[in-house]
Amino acid sequence: MGTEEMEAVILAGVLRRAGADVTLASVEDGLEVEASCGSRIVADTHIASCADQVFDLVALPGGMPGSVRLRDSDILQRITVRQAEEKRLYGAICAAPAVVLMPWGLHKRKKITCHPSFIGDLPTFRAVESNVQVSGELTTSRGPGTSFQFALSFVEQMFGPHAAEDVDKILMTQIDGDFERSTEVNELEWSIDHNPHVLIPIANGSEEMEIIILVDILRRANINVVLASVEKSPNIVGSQRMKIVADKSIMSASNSKYDLIILPGGTAGVERLHRSRILKKLLKEQKQAGRMYGGVCSSLKVLQLQGLLEDKIVTAHPAVANELTCKIIDRSNIVIDGNLITGKGIGTVVDFALGTIRKFFGHGRAKSVANGIVFEYPKS
């Protein structure tokens, strides 16, 4: 409970894409945990069932009070101490290096980093401020905004540099010098007189990293985010086999109006979103009312089929770009065209979420949220 959801889900999602057999284990009594920004995630198993297993890697996400609850798990402590003693890989991110590893004595004789809020708790002569610090078997990192780098470091250590490069190309996390972070055309002010309401419809096969990054970052700006399942159950299983619990059914969610509707990608999930009559109706009403809407990665196909990309300019993942008939700006992570915002892929969703905050509240709020998650964001 209280684990930082971006860190947990990005770790599991990236490692599974690399081919690792990943177990998400709950240290709570139940498998369903509410994370630090309100997302509900269902673990694969209880920590007790992992006690006698041998792992190539034990990785601890941060978040508060999640880090404290990990620290207080005797079983997790025994697993991690044994991991270190037997010289196998272990790691921690954000608050966890200071809050979990230090009380367990697993930071000794290691260079170590953590979230800036906790860096003062680390031994001065061992603390470093790098985004990712590898020190023998221990790898540490700084926050949600460095989670992709943290996860890819483990891919490189376990599978080699070529595997890490291949996964990174799929994720599109690297900001190419020739790419724009954000491009805006047909500028329109997103002015509303209340706290923004955002709907994120989800389905089995939706890309869980995209879902969780959007929810986590938007809620940090106090945006009211509703995750709505188009399935019969509120529980969905994402493209990387992670279980997420929606806030509402799409039927229940359809009783409200939303300032912005965002569709996540994930090939199988996109197909299931497209089959939802209620979602089609909501998207049609959104367009007619002139309210905001957007999509990431393969979800642009749904927007096109609903006629929401007519006369619009977008950015798109290379895998779906040739299926779109609208104008595409290829060399930009996100494109904002009036009341439409689009994102290229998984690795550009942090920019997508911060771009959304900027449009609703201004650059200052977006920069503040970026600083909090330790994500490099333009000063102006």
Asked whether 377 and 239 are in contact (CB, 8 A), the reply is no
**Cα Rg of the chain (Å, integer):** 20
Distance CA 205, CA 267 (A): 7
Catalytic residues: 7, 94, 115
User: Of 179, 162, 163, 211, nearest to 318 (Cα)?
Assistant: 179
